[in-house]
Amino acid sequence: MENLTQEEWVAQLKNDDNAVVLDVRTDAEIAEGIIPNAVHLDIYKGQEFIDALEDLDKSKSYYVYCRSGNRSGQACQIMEELGFENAYNLEGGMLQWTGDVVDFE
């Protein structure tokens, strides 16, 4: 797991052909908008969250974010324990995000 600043996260994501953006916020939080093309998995769903992670392709790189960076950091640690080698946490989360945001569909 690696904590990245917004600048590092965006730059690395842009150059990563194997990237998946993962939003681990709640349904209420994503109603305010998400980063384009993000996959939503609510970390508060417990075992359901773990099961959903297990279904993901471990060979991909995951760029994970939440509201502030705390839950996404926890998600990255869980992913590491499950065998994911490339999980990147967005420091500051959506509170500090200045990039594009779209409505969740």
Instruction: Write out the catalytic residue numbers.
Output: 66
Q: What are the angstrom distances between the C-alpha of 105 and each of 20, 31, 43?
A: 17, 9, 19
**Alpha-carbon gap, residue 30 to 82, rounded angstroms:** 25
Determine the Cα angle at 57 with ends 52 and 62, to 5°: 85
